[in-house]
Amino acid sequence: MKTRLLAAAFAAVAFSWAGAAEAACTTSNNDFEDVYCAAKNYIDADNDLNAAYKKLSTKLSTDEKSILKKSEAAWMKSRNGDCGKTDSDGYYVDLSCAVDTTEKRTKFLQDRFAECDAGNCDDAKLAGTE
């Protein structure tokens, strides 16, 4: 079966365009620039998510880290189901959906950090998959 990750493959090539592509994200001239910018936005959102996860982890006990790890895996499965699809041509990702979903999860993790930092860590909230 021929599998394509259109957005990821294009992003890998597009990132080699550095300067020209950077400017393209403020004004789009074509569909390829749109895909590049969507991929770049997703990578930026994912980096923010990873930073929020790491920051929150510093406030958690071993048991709480285990809860968070399980909720993160469940969230990723949900994100992949909501924002991706497989058909006879391969696997496709709706990068706009992935960015929105990732930004919401980042906010969720930041909110949990604020609670834990104030001494109010709640295992039930850490288990959430929002």
Domain assignment present for residue 56? The answer is yes
Torsion, CA 62, CA 63, CA 66, CA 70, rounded to 10: -160
pTM: 0.79
| Per-residue model confidence as pLDDT tens digits over 4-51 | 444 444 444 444 444 444 445 787 788 888 889 999 999 999 999 999
| Per-residue model confidence as pLDDT tens digits over 102-127 | 999 999 999 999 999 999 999 999 99
Domain assignment present for residue 83? The answer is yes
Domain assignment present for residue 37? The answer is yes
Domain assignment present for residue 1? The answer is no
Q: How many domains does the chain have?
A: 1
Domain assignment present for residue 74? The answer is yes
Domain assignment present for residue 96? The answer is yes
Question: The domain containing residue 60 runs over which residues?
Answer: 6-126
